Amino acid sequence: MSGLRADLRLDRGEFSVEVQLEAPTGVSALLGPNGSGKTTVLLALAGLLRADRADVEVGGRAWAGPGVDLPPERRSVGLVLADPVLFGHLSLLDNVAFGPRSRGMPRRAARARARDELDRVGLGDLVSRRPGQVSSGQAQRAALARALATDPEVLLLDEPLSALDPQTRSRTRADLATRLRDYPGVTLLTTHDPLDALTLADRLLFLEDGRITQTGTPGEVVARPRTAYVASLVGLNLLRGTLTHDGPDAPGAGATDESTLPGGGWTLTLAGTREGAGAARLVLADPPDGAAAGEEVWASINPEAVALFTQRPQTSARNLWRLGVDSVTVTGQRARVHLVGEVALVAEVTLGAVAALDIQRGRELWAAVKATEIHAYPA
Give CA–CA dist 54/39, Å, rounded: 16
Measured in residues, the chain has a length of 379
Judge whether 4-226 and 237-378 match in fold. Answer: no
Every domain of the chain and the residues it spans: 4-226, 237-378
| pLDDT (tens place) for every residue of the chain, 379 residues total | 479 999 999 998 889 999 999 999 999 999 999 999 999 999 999 999 999 999 999 999 999 999 999 999 999 999 998 889 999 999 999 999 998 998 889 999 999 999 999 999 889 999 999 999 999 889 999 999 999 999 999 999 999 888 888 888 888 888 889 889 999 999 999 998 888 998 899 999 999 999 999 999 999 999 999 999 999 999 999 999 999 987 654 334 333 345 444 445 899 998 765 444 456 899 999 888 888 899 999 999 999 999 999 999 999 899 999 999 999 999 889 999 999 999 999 999 999 999 999 999 999 999 999 999 999 999 8
Does domain 4-226 fall under CATH 3.40.50.300? My reply is yes
CATH assignment of 237-378, among 3.20.20.210, 2.40.50.40, 3.90.79.10, 2.40.50.100: 2.40.50.100
